[in-house]
A and B are shown apart, each in its own frame.
With several copies, the nearest count.
Chain A
């Protein structure tokens, strides 16, 4: 059986190529795959399309990748007041940004994971995000059409993984991570702890192993 466990962050991102699209989990400082992000910064992968709720916080989270000019395009809901490196790049016209409602970002990721190519929503009707999108009345409500959104990779953070990749999270650090795990071609997870197969109760597993390709146990946030 294929081994999913890698020695460390550098090994697990070693083949992520220039031009890759990558989803990054995390929200509000919780559940960010910071060790994977730093490994990606060391590797120097360029022309990344990033999908993430926000766009870094100073040099932290995605900040380091914007600072290094590794990201070419971002899909985000709330780049964030402390995303200074992103804002610098954005102001300089170096970055293409697709801004969207947070719940629609979630739903587009889930649609990708669930094999739903597109869906109608009332969210965004009459606003800037509706520009260029098909509008139509569904069941008496004005709706716009949104499409599935996935990526080559998901970089996510979980609390514990078993050796085949079943995952559990801690509290609000769950956020986008299970969605992105399911929406990627290749899902890479950093965890606090790897446990034996069978150590996680099947009732409480949040991300089943089917959605996880690579696991690294790394210390610290």
Chain B
């Protein structure tokens, strides 16, 4: 039985299973941005970009780029049938106004109350930058965070209280990492799934707050061999 943590691609693959058919979804920088490659067959997702697109398709093929049609990461993309363009205030009317079915963001830390910190590493030089994450975090009907379970130095990123500058408070509904799927509930952090080969106790060891663990916590289902 494998004891490998998930790859970033596998986290994205697992997270993509959370997307509802026909849903309007915003994907943030980092791992979330990989999710569009893993939309389950038969599902149509209308990907939202805060620069004024609903209905983003795959990245543009080399040689077919239109630099007026880029995503929030500046990457030339395409649109699918049924797409619409609008201005940036209308795009954030969608984020802040509670119109996105799901948003998925990366994060440095998520607290057990659902606070998220994803825009600034304390002590780093430069101005930092916020971008659309605050509006998206506050407004999405269901906010999912995709991230590695632990920082490079092993520090837990699922924490009792965030120590990094906050993006928004009490808004994350689920966390998908290379070790687990965790729901943030009124009772606390509910361990919904573990990575293949890992036990709930092992996941708990890498997590700062106490996890609620039921008798049978299933393993995540991923395509054989991953990517």
Q: Interface on A for B, CB 8 Å cutoff? A: 1-2, 27-31, 53-55, 76-81, 86-87, 90-91, 97, 99-104, 106-107, 109-110, 112-116, 121-129, 162, 164, 166, 169-179, 182, 197-198, 202-203, 205-206, 208-211, 221
Q: Which one of A113, A116, A182, A205 lies within 8 Å of B84 (CB-CB)?
A: A205
Interface centre among B46, B92, B120, B135 (most CB of A within 10 A): B135
Question: How far, in angstroms, from A9 to B72 measured CA to CA in the complex?
Answer: 28
Q: A78-B131, A102-B134, A210-B99 are in contact. List 14 more A-B contacts (CB 8 A).
A: A30-B67, A99-B127, A101-B130, A102-B92, A102-B132, A103-B89, A103-B134, A114-B97, A115-B97, A121-B96, A128-B120, A173-B68, A210-B54, A210-B94
Is B53's beta carbon under 8 Å from chain A?
Answer: yes
Q: Is the interface of B mostly helix, strand, loop or mixed?
A: loop
Which residues of A are found within 8 Å of B123, using beta-carbon distances? none
Give chain B's interface residues, CB within 8 Å of chain A.
Answer: 21-22, 24, 43-44, 46, 48-55, 66-74, 79, 81-89, 91-100, 115, 120, 125-136, 138-139, 165-169
Q: Would you call B96 and A79 a contact (CB within 8 A)?
A: no
**B21 → chain A closest CB, angstroms:** 5
- The answer, among A115, A126, A205, for a CB contact under 8 Å with B93, is A115
- In the complex, the 8 A-B pairs of residues with the closest C-beta atoms, listed nearest first: A198-B81, A103-B92, A103-B135, A115-B96, A78-B129, A101-B134, A1-B22, A106-B89
Which of A106, A178, A211 is B99 in contact with, Cβ under 8 Å? A211
- In the complex, residue of chain A having the shortest beta-carbon distance to the beta carbon of B71: A28
Output the residue of B21, B72, B91, B98 with the most chain A CB within 10 A. Answer: B91
A169 partner residues in chain B, CB cutoff 8 A:
85
